[in-house]
């Protein structure tokens, strides 16, 4: 049921592999399971959503922007980076010229290994990733925060400290962890997925 939640895409190895195996089995029997093709296509699109929202907010001017990312593993309570949505977002941001500061409670060593492999065609971009020691360290002077993995530690942060640490209080929530009206009350510009929040989001300067 958790896969039905609106968000920035699923990852890992088991579920994607099962979908692909079903598709292949169907093809062997001369059938095309359109719904599974759609599942894969939509999932790949969803992995692009956070990057598109961030790029749109900054009017395509991401060069030199510092974007913090909370959560790197494909799901909480693991260091598994296989097909993780964070990898897509980080690639989008780096290639647009942004500096990326990242934090995950468990997956940092694996993330360093995997992200270096992802950037073998552009190794200099790896130097634009800052691996923070804590979630709050990742936010220092950040222009925006993107939440990619729904770790429990991210569900009830110190929002006052978030506002103090960042250049502007701007959150792109890929897992819908927070309530839009509460973000509005705290003066935080908030963008999530699958929920209309335009009435709540305060105006911020790029």
The string of DSSP letters for 25-64 reads: HHHHTT---HHHHHHHHHHHHHHHHHHHHHHHHTTT--TT
**Residue 123 DSSP label:** G
- End-to-end, the C-alpha distance of the chain in Å comes to 37
| 9 CB-contact burial (10 Å; exposed 0-12 / middle 13-18 / buried 19+) | buried
* Residue in the structure block whose two tokens are 């959150």: 171
Q: In whole angstroms, what is the distance from residue 14 CA to residue 7 CA?
A: 19
CB-based contact 64:97 (threshold 8 Å): yes
> Which residues are part of the catalytic machinery?
14
């Amino acid at each position: 049921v958790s896969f039905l939640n609106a968000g920035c895409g699923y990852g890992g190895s088991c579920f994607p592999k099962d979908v692909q195996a079903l598709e292949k089995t169907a093809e062997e029997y001369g059938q095309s399971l359109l719904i599974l093709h759609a599942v894969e296509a939509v999932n790949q699109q969803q992995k692009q959503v956070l990057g598109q929202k961030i790029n749109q907010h900054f009017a395509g001017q991401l060069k030199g922007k510092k974007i913090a990312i909370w959560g790197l593993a494909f799901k909480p309570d693991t260091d598994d980076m296989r097909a993780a949505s964070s990898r897509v977002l980080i690639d989008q941001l780096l290639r647009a010229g942004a500096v990326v500061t990242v934090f995950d409670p468990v997956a940092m060593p694996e993330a360093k290994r995997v992200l270096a492999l992802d950037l073998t065609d552009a190794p200099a971009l790896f130097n634009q990733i800052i691996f923070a020691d804590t979630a709050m360290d990742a936010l220092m002077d950040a222009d925006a925060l993107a939440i990619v993995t729904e770790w429990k530690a991210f569900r009830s942060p110190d929002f006052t400290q978030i506002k103090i640490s960042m250049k502007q209080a701007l959150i792109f929530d890929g897992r819908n962890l927070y309530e839009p009206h509460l973000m509005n009350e705290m003066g935080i510009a908030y963008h999530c997925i699958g929920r209309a929040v335009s009435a709540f989001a305060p105006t911020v300067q790029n």
